[in-house]
Amino acid sequence: MENKLAIRQFIERLLAQKGDRQPFRDSDSLILSGRLQSVDAVEVVVFLEEQWSIDFTQIGFDHNQIDSVDAILALIESVGASK
């Protein structure tokens, strides 16, 4: 629950920086839908690296892995990462 809140807050902030204050569901596509661009995806990656020590050089990278809140939560769980 704590993870989800942190992720949602981060994404809300990222979208707000782009003037996008529309609500989003946990399952909503964020990158493949175009609400976030590939350069914004970098911010998400850095956030995950810093907060959960996820090492993408080890697990590989695909935009699908971070395309929604649900996808990010599943990624954190799959690599057994913790804050």
Residues forming the site for other proteins (CB under 8 A): 18-19, 31-32, 34, 37-39, 41-43, 45-46, 56-57, 60-62
Least separation in angstroms between residue 2's CB and other proteins is 26
- Residue (19 or 23) nearer to other proteins, CB: 19
Q: CA–CA separation, 55 vs 33, rounded Å?
A: 25
Compute the least distance from the CB of residue 1 to other proteins, in Å: 28
How far from 41 is each of 23, 27, 67, CA to CA, in Å?
18, 16, 9
Q: Would you say 36 or 69 has its CB closer to other proteins?
A: 36
Query: Phi and psi of 22, rounded to 5°?
Result: -70, 145
Between 5 and 39, name the residue whose CB sits nearer to other proteins.
Answer: 39
Q: Say how far apart CA 38 and CA 2 lie, in whole Å.
A: 26
